[in-house]
Amino acid sequence: MNYLFNSSAVFFFILGFTLNLSAQDFSPSKYPDRIVLTWSDDPMTTQSVTWRTAAEVKDSKAQFILAPNTPIYLDSAETFEAKTEYLEVDSVKANYHSVTFRKLKPATTYAYRVGNEGTWSEWFQFTTAPEKGTPFSFIYFGDAQNNLKSQWSRIIRQAYSNLPKAGFMLHAGDLINRTHSDQEWGEWTHAGGFINAMIPSISTPGNHEYNRNEDGALVLDYHWQKQFTLPENGPKGFEETVYFTDYSDLRLISLNSQEIVLDEKSMETQRIWLEKVLSTNTQKWTVITFHHPIYSSGTGRDNKEFREAFKPLFDRYQVDLVLQGHDHSYGRGRNLPSGVANQDPAAQGPVYVVSVSGPKMYNLTFDKWMDRAASNTQLYQLISVDGNQLSYGAYTATGELYDAFDLIKSEGKPKEFIDRSDKAIQEAIELTPGSEKKMTPEEMAEYMRTYKKRN
């Protein structure tokens, strides 16, 4: 058997037959692609959009209009010149373009398209954030990471079919698997398709968005700041990875956990910044997202130093919800003031969630901090905020309810937690395929003792 490799295809010559296993070509062209909505400023009055073209396209534009019920007449559209940045990575040369629409009205639907004469995209629509106090919902995804086109695509599309009017989508790190891989970013944007162009994304980086340079310094994926236009209100040096966004009654905060777990100076910088952001927070609800879990759902994992440095802040400022990834399994637990075996119903700490949306799976931890767990299950989460109530639901790839709870706040009373997982399907706690070859008999027995009795 002979093998011939090149950069774009792999050909196997077997018994005279040629099998072409080349990946889909995600090369840029003169037509805009990878159109992604984000926010860099106030979601009520601004909207950012980023897109990509071939490097030969030096100038690109965005056209914008208050969305009409009539056909769109171009004499009413405003035209904006885009900011353009060149990126050459993974043997792909491209220009990334971005525009931020400003002076918008809250809770208003606008239409836009990007490109230029002869290369315009289709018209898309987005709706600005509502005024403070207005009910809203959003989607939360754990790691996408692997098989983005073939398998993660059905998760983001199923989530959209359940909640097409979501205010935004939250991605808790490891959006891709290989740092600087243009092919994988092509698959990620392909999977989301028009959804990315109509619902803003709020993303926090994971370990797979980083590698190290020759000097050993952490390097963020070159695509990140080119294709996402995120807030720069974090500490210096962490722009567009550490930031906060206020949406209606919610303050959503992103931390860069890859820097936290690998660099003590970065940890302290983010801890000081976070305390300032929390201490001045006037929003009713507070959600924090990052990649590496405070309490791990995956076997053999623990981020002890991270937990010891940041959990006291979460408790002191009564953070409501912590949304994480990294462990390729699902876990949900709450009110853990002094260790995983000591849950205090009266404590006002966060509900901790770890989730995974892609197909890469790990086995569950033996630590008993989780009230609800899942292995070998792709999930997405829909979260709604309505006044004094936050409602959470985790759903499977086929749209079945897997976990649910409500948080309720009343003046002068402790925050109330209502577990609604009894309305969901049976807990999925089976071992991942091949576990019998990786686990010792003692580990297998401990796993069975921990989880089988739950059902």
DSSP bridge partners of 403: 394
**What's the rounded Cα separation, in Å, for the pair 173 and 350?**
20
CATH node for 33-127: 2.60.40.380
Is 62 in contact with 49 (CB distance < 8 Å)? yes
List pLDDT tens digits, range 54-79: 999 999 999 999 999 999 999 999 99
Sequence-ordered list of residues with C-beta below 8 angstroms from that of 231, at least 6 positions apart, any chain: 39, 40, 41, 240, 243, 244, 245
Higher confidence at residue 387 or residue 16?
387
Average pLDDT over residues 183-211: 98
Tell me which residue has tokens 């390097």: 219
User: Rounded to an integer, what is the distance from CA 339 to the centroid of its chain?
Assistant: 27
Q: Which helix (H) or strand (E) holds 316?
A: helix 304-316
Question: Among candidates 344, 223, 350, 331, which has minimal Cα distance to 288?
Answer: 350
CATH node for 136-450: 3.60.21.10
pLDDT at 343: 55
Q: 178 burial class (0-12, 13-18, 19+ CB within 10 angstroms)?
A: middle
φ, ψ for residue 58, nearest 5 deg:
-85, -30
Query: What is residue 76's DSSP assignment?
Result: G
List pLDDT tens digits, range 122-131: 999 999 999 9
List pLDDT tens digits, range 147-174: 999 999 999 999 999 999 999 999 999 9
pLDDT at 272: 98
% of the chain residues with pLDDT over 90:
83
pLDDT at 33: 98
Is 174 in contact with 208 (CB distance < 8 Å)? yes
**What's the rounded Cα separation, in Å, for the pair 23 and 402?**
34
Strand 47-54 relative to strand 92-101, pairing = antiparallel
Domains in the chain: boundaries? 33-127, 136-450
Average pLDDT over residues 404-416: 94
Structure tokens at 318: 């009564």
Question: Among candidates 330, 341, 352, which has minimal Cα distance to 407?
Answer: 352
Question: Does pLDDT of 199 surpass 80?
Answer: yes
User: Rounded to an integer, what is the distance from CA 153 to the centroid of its chain?
Assistant: 14
Average pLDDT over residues 2-27: 51
**pLDDT band (50, 70, 90) for residue 7:** very low
% of the chain residues with pLDDT over 70:
92
pLDDT at 22: 62
pLDDT at 5: 34
φ, ψ for residue 450, nearest 5 deg:
-75, -40
**Angle (deg, nearest 10), helices 264-279 and 304-316:** 10
Mean pLDDT of the chain: 92
**Taking the chain, what is the end-to-end CA distance rounded to the nearest angstrom?**
50
> Three-state SS for 295?
coil
pLDDT at 338: 46
**What's the rounded Cα separation, in Å, for the pair 97 and 52?**
6
One DSSP character per residue, 149-185 reads IIIIHHHHHHHHHH-TT-S-EEE-S-SSSSTT-HHHH
List pLDDT tens digits, range 330-386: 999 986 544 444 555 556 789 999 999 999 999 999 888 999 999 999 999 999 999
pLDDT at 346: 58
| CB-based burial, 397-422: b 16+ in 10 Å, e otherwise | beeeebbbbebebeeeeebeeeeebe
pLDDT at 14: 39
**pLDDT band (50, 70, 90) for residue 309:** very high
DSSP bridge partners of 109: 127
> Three-state SS for 306?
helix
pLDDT at 300: 86
Give the pTM: 0.93
Is 339 in contact with 367 (CB distance < 8 Å)? no
pLDDT at 455: 62
Average pLDDT over residues 203-219: 95
Tell me which residue has tokens 């009564």: 318
**What's the rounded Cα separation, in Å, for the pair 231 and 203?**
11
Question: Does pLDDT of 16 surpass 50?
Answer: no
pLDDT at 19: 45
Sequence-ordered list of residues with C-beta below 8 angstroms from that of 16, at least 6 positions apart, any chain: none
Is 303 in contact with 294 (CB distance < 8 Å)? yes
Tell me which residue has tokens 């006291």: 312
